[in-house]
Structure 1
């Protein structure tokens, strides 16, 4: 039996034991096992079990920390307002303090920040603000608040020196923040969930060819037809000109506005290999197909998926 076959058999046994936990082991001896097998054991463990295993010895501590901190989530969360007697601005400040504590933990521990491979950044206040479109929106926060809030996220991006995947949820992507993203050499996958790219940033993407992220090869874009600010996500293609995989997922029943003609003139996707379109309407399909047919963007295309509910 080859070493690879041994690893596959071990992983199969571990998976079977997780699904059907019998017999109940009284002792588990993992002395001198290869790191790959220990990785499989920890990968099938729950977060609580991983924390328990990390307290046993230095070898398991190192492996468990790699699994525990592989994905790090940070969000500006909204408290349960139904049971709160505190005003919204104060709640927002409390939420930002929680975010600061989470950021300081990563920034002040380089050994842990180096283990972060996937970073999820989310703003739940922006989601609540979209749900209250009237002028006196209680969830509207000042520009100063959001500037410091995005600076917290930027500090974490700088400290995560081994970051592979970045997930941005309901964020307004400023120019400084996107410049920080472009400076991450290890980043190759980005997901944009209902984010907003302001007009000034879109103009920068269109006019400055040097403002680019050539290291990003995978991009997933999520848009909502109910919220116009999410339609600007198309412009992220100008930032990621060396994409190999592109997925566009659209939600809602209404039509999506077509990007400006200047966008299609500036768009370059010569390395695109896999394209997936989910619930994409005709208004978006027509200019996209014209772009693919008139340019060399589809010359390397090997996989195409179109899904419509």
Structure 2
């Protein structure tokens, strides 16, 4: 039983994927339920016949509800994103008539009874629930087998759903077929839809008609990934013990991967239309990710690997020069040769450069070409790849800088920071607007402060352009370094500030932040009890929450405040005293009472908002999320609203924006279909 053709569903696509947009009713819920079987698979699940009964019943219940809601949707005019077409309606109405006939036979001889059932926890109540049993159990089993249903969906449920659909037919006897199709929309709206839909959906839309082909063409080749794939069967790989056996198995795979990548490069170069359409290119080496190079005989050491991959490195370098509209380039686990560096200098429209675990081979880093168009630079690197910093010199007009080191070695504090020569030759903070640096050793904080200060060129009246600033220290941000950092940021237009790893958290830190950064609107502070603490967790702060509250009066624009202050959200209120006096009667349970219970986060939110009227929410963060307490616009009374939060307000803000775009796509499509 489903909203689609049963002949297709007979295949029972157990591991179907899910597109970016939910096309049918309950599709995402059903997909998530199927994915929940994956952890069970590691404990002996061999086929869908071994799926636990509860999961199987839930999956089938989604299909049943989808069937009923689709039949209703044709008559109400509100259907899923697959459309209200005549052909689809003819198919589903035949199955509906057949289903109604079978169900009517069961209901004709079924016996109904009222069964009492208790509901509620504290104030238990007894209600009467209708229960229907078919006269012949074998007929019920045949019905479930025919319609691919599950006995968790009772006969009474089927009857209630059928009556609901019949009422819908009575109110809306004529089905409503769509008159406005997707290609009837204005071209600018179609461009927005195709762009949000992504590459895969753009290619599918392009195969439907000439109009959508023309619109989707520039999007279906907008992104491309050049991938030196590994293709290793890991269960077989781990069974091989000797070096010769590993080399015999891996050599054909790596040779085939190189040939495939070179063929992909040649194909793209032979298509001028694709070269013009390409905006975003992603290049990665999966062999380097898994560190399986050394197990091969053709590329077992660094010299052999460079020789073996020389055609690939050269091919990528020659290819990107032929991309006139390239705007974003991501290199992951790649060797950056001199030829590739020269090719990067020719990309006049490149706006974003991402280097993840790349190894430069240059020896003269400060003669690198400048790219005025390059505005965004992201760098993730390890100790052996510190040379990747030199590409920051390509960005004279940089706006966004993100730096992350996957690991931090306390014995080598220079792991995260750039070489002193580069810091002296180039100061990105003159043009920088968004800055994020993670896992900074505390010994390098003074150099970072000096690097920021150098942007003023001795003129203290120079205003930094920073609007977003995030700093995460691996060993703690102490008082002196913290106050020096706020001094060098003084007067900037920072609206988003995240300081993770504070070792000093007295109330006067709020005064210093409010004085140095009066325009701050989103503030996140994470305190760590010791220098060995790395991952942020809920931590007892050195002062009580009520001692921090008066210091929020200095903020005039603060909207969101987040901290990892440890609080107990499950405290018992004054109502617990009555249970002590009554001797804990069995019919009552000790618990929170909304009438007289005020948990600590609510009282903190109310107290903070009293001193800072602009404060809209306060979040208590932890590694797995947090609890947020919203206050009303008047800033006086808390609204109890619990939500999961991301550790960074900056990331949460970006994610909400993206989700809003997907939601807008669904609304637009529903209105047209």
Alignment TM class, shorter chain as reference? 0.7 to 0.9
Shift of 1:216: 0.7
Inter-CA distance 91–259: structure 2 relative to 1 (3 Å threshold)? same
Deviations 1:17-54 (A, max 9, x none): 77878344144623442122212333454655433321
Aligned to 2:181: 29
Q: Does 1:58 align with 2:217?
A: no
Contact 2:278–2:326 (CA under 8 A) maintained in structure 1: yes
Contact 2:199–2:222 (CA under 8 A) maintained in structure 1: no
- SS for the counterpart of 1:288 is helix
Q: Does 1:221 align with 2:383?
A: no
Aligned to 2:220: 68
The within-5 A match list for 1:149-160 is 149-160=312-323
| Greater relative contact order, per chain length (Cα 8 Å cut-off, separation 6+) | 1
Aligned to 2:347: 184
* 1:129 alignment partner, one of 285, 291, 294: 291
Deviations 1:105-160 (A, max 9, x none): 21111112211111001112222338969xxx847543222221111112321222
- SS for the counterpart of 2:193 is helix
Q: Does 1:289 align with 2:449?
A: yes
Contact 1:117–1:164 (CA under 8 A) maintained in structure 2: yes
Is 80-89 or 287-296 further displaced after alignment? 80-89
Please tell me the root mean square deviation across aligned C-alpha atoms, in Å: 3.1
Aligned to 1:166: 329
Deviations 1:145-183 (A, max 9, x none): 222111111232122221110001011211110110110
> TM-score normalised to the size of structure 2?
0.39
The within-5 A match list for 1:1-309 is 22-23=79-80, 24-27=82-85, 29-45=181-197, 47-82=199-234, 83=236, 86-129=248-291, 138=300, 140=302, 141-198=304-361, 201=362, 203-206=363-366, 208=367, 211-224=369-382, 228-255=383-410, 256-257=413-414, 258-269=417-428, 270-296=430-456, 299-307=464-472, 308=500, 309=535
Shift of 1:63: 2.2
Contact 2:282–2:331 (CA under 8 A) maintained in structure 1: yes
Contact 1:205–1:239 (CA under 8 A) maintained in structure 2: no
The higher radius of gyration belongs to 2
Inter-CA distance 292–301: structure 2 relative to 1 (3 Å threshold)? same
Inter-CA distance 283–259: structure 2 relative to 1 (3 Å threshold)? farther
Deviations 1:252-297 (A, max 9, x none): 2424525432222212323222211122222443322211113338
> TM-score normalised to the size of structure 1?
0.80
State the distance in 2 between where 1:294 and 1:48 align: 47
State the distance in 2 between where 1:299 and 1:48 align: 42
- SS for the counterpart of 1:73 is strand
State the distance in 1 between where 2:217 and 2:409 align: 45
- SS for the counterpart of 1:183 is coil
- SS for the counterpart of 1:287 is helix
Shift of 1:74: 0.7
State the distance in 2 between where 1:143 and 1:112 align: 29
> What 5-or-longer segments of structure 1 have no aligned partner?
1-14
Is 78-87 or 246-255 further displaced after alignment? 78-87
Inter-CA distance 25–219: structure 2 relative to 1 (3 Å threshold)? same
- SS for the counterpart of 1:279 is strand
State the distance in 1 between where 2:408 and 2:267 align: 42
> What 5-or-longer segments of structure 2 have no aligned partner?
1-20, 28-78, 86-179, 238-244, 458-462, 473-499, 501-534, 536-673
Would you say how many aligned residue pairs link Structure 1 and Structure 2? 286
Aligned to 2:555: none
